[in-house]
């Protein structure tokens, strides 16, 4: 495990076009992290800004030469990750391309898909509207098809197709840029639960965890991310798996671990200090249970607040090696629970209300 570094300047970095709640949440996470580490907080990224001695908290995975432009050399310099091509940071990599495809992005490595085939759901990734129509028609029938825009997050940008009419209606709403960024087509599951599995490495301290995600309707009736409850262990996956985990949870951890190992082996230039994986379990069209990794997050995300809450306890109390923490996102105005850390209170993208907070719920030695 790397030794703790000398003091750095913590800087929040938001992608262009980030919503107000994303920018403010990122600022609050970076400020809180600086407080936990005892490092100075330098606010939001501005160019020009000195790169030396900086610790970056970006809202997006860094792509290609962006890391050099920001002075990032490895995991010790950021809370997040880096890949060579934009599609590598999206859910596009979870599935193979069709055998006959109209477009193959530069840098696509089929070896990754082969290595994760047993730990993801049945599905394909396409970057071409004609491919999307052809593949969707093949899948539709006894199985429902869930299609996802790979650049969307938080449960948005996806729809379930049941009929050929659904397919044509969906295709009619697609624009070429959305399709060229990537679309995932996979079997739709029923009676689902979504697990969060991951690791975070900050200033020499490695934390591994599993947890569950929740959803709620927003003001427009759309199901959106509502928070994560995590069980976090000091150390790596070996330490996490030493705890008494339910068989399905243990399998979710092993699936995420295999997906993570494939990314390290097959994606040149990849590194990440935050590695989070969504794993879904549910029933397929034949009534059989399926479990698979949906996507990765090599950047700050919805569960980051819980990760920082755990980091704070683990640093302050060396005897603690296992705890439970949560993040919550709600459209209901309410008082914060005692001890919770406010991450955001204000409007969402549509002008409705949004509250985000994180807290430790319980811990033990």
CATH code assigned at 175: 3.30.1490.20
Average pLDDT over residues 304-333: 97
Using the 3D structure, point to which of 188, 220, 235 is the last residue of a domain: 188
Max avg pLDDT among 14-18, 211-215, 322-326: 322-326
Residues 64 and 202 both lie in one domain: yes
The pLDDT value given to residue 13: 97
Cβ proximity of 303 and 275 under 8 Å: no
Whole-angstrom distance, CA of residue 225 vs CA of residue 227: 6
Per-residue pLDDT tens digits for 92-122:
999 999 998 888 999 999 999 999 999 999 9
My answer on whether 16 and 97 are in the same domain is no
Domain span holding position 252: 9-87+192-364
Q: Which of 14, 35, 11 is nearest to 341 (CA)?
A: 35
Same domain? 209 vs 66:
yes
Cα 46 to the center of its chain, rounded Å: 25
Mean per-residue pLDDT, 225-250: 97
Furthest C-alpha separation in the chain: 60
Q: Which of 365, 355, 314, 349 is nearest to 333 (CA)?
A: 355
pLDDT(221) > 80: no
Whether 41 and 81 map to the same domain: the answer is yes
Whether the per-residue pLDDT at 183 is higher than 70: the answer is yes
75/211 same-domain check: yes
Say yes or no: 146 and 16 in one domain. Answer: no
CA atoms within 13 A on the CB side of 19: 12
Same domain flag for 309 and 281: yes
**Structural domains counted in the chain:** 2
Res 152 pLDDT > 90: no
Same domain, 34 and 136: no
Give the end of a domain, one of 157, 188, 219. 188
**pLDDT (0 to 100) of residue 322:** 98
pLDDT at 217 over 80: yes
- Does residue 4 lie in a domain region? no
Nearest to 49 by CA among 84, 15, 10, 89: 10
The chain-wide mean pLDDT, for the chain, equals 93
The average pLDDT across 162-183 equals: 90
This prediction has a pTM of 0.93
Q: Is residue 212 domain-shared with residue 341, that is, in the same domain?
A: yes
- Give the pLDDT of residue 3: 52
Task: Assess if residue 343 is contained within a domain.
Answer: yes
User: When comparing pLDDT for 349 and 23, which is higher?
Assistant: 23
Task: Clarify whether residues 75 and 127 are in a common domain.
Answer: no
When mean pLDDT is compared across 5-9, 46-50, 288-292, the lowest value belongs to: 5-9
- Which of 143, 158, 188 is where one domain is finished? 188
Q: Are residues 159 and 239 in the same domain?
A: no
pLDDT at 2: 45
Residue 53 has pLDDT above 60, yes or no: yes
In a domain, 1, yes or no: no
**Section 139-161 average pLDDT:** 83
Does one domain contain both 309 and 217?
Answer: yes
């Amino acid at each position: 495990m790397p030794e703790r570094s000398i003091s750095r300047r913590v800087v929040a970095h938001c992608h262009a076009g980030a919503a107000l709640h994303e920018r403010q949440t990122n600022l609050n996470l970076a400020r809180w992290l600086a407080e936990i580490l005892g490092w100075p907080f330098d606010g939001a990224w501005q160019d020009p800004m000195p790169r030396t001695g900086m610790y970056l908290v970006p809202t997006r995975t860094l792509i290609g030469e962006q890391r050099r432009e920001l002075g990032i050399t490895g995991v010790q310099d950021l809370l997040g990750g880096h890949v060579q091509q934009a599609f590598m940071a999206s859910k596009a990599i979870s599935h193979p391309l069709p055998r006959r495809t109209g477009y193959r992005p530069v840098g696509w490595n089929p070896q990754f898909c082969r290595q994760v085939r047993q730990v993801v759901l049945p599905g394909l990734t396409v970057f071409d509207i004609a491919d999307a129509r052809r593949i969707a028609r093949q899948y539709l029938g006894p199985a429902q098809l869930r299609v996802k825009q790979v650049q969307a997050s938080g449960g948005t940008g996806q729809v379930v197709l049941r009929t050929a009419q659904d397919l044509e209606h969906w295709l009619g709403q697609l624009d070429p840029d959305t399709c060229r960024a990537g679309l995932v087509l996979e079997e739709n599951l029923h009676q689902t639960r979504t697990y969060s599995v991951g690791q975070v490495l900050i200033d020499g301290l490695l934390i591994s965890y599993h947890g569950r995600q929740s959803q709620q309707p927003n003001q427009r009736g759309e199901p959106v991310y509502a928070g994560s409850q995590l069980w976090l262990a000091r150390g790596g996956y070996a330490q996490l798996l030493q705890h008494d985990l339910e068989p399905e949870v243990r399998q979710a951890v092993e699936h995420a671990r295999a997906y993570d190992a494939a990314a390290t082996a097959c994606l040149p230039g990849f590194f990440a200090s935050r590695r989070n994986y969504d794993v879904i379990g549910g029933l397929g069209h034949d009534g059989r249970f399926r479990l698979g990794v949906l996507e990765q997050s090599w950047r700050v995300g919805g569960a980051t607040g819980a990760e920082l809450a755990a980091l704070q306890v683990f640093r302050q109390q060396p005897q603690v090696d296992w705890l439970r923490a949560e993040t919550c996102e709600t459209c209901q105005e309410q008082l914060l629970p005692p001890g919770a850390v406010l991450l955001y209170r204000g409007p969402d993208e549509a002008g409705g209300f949004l509250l985000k907070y994180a807290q430790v719920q319980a811990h033990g030695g």
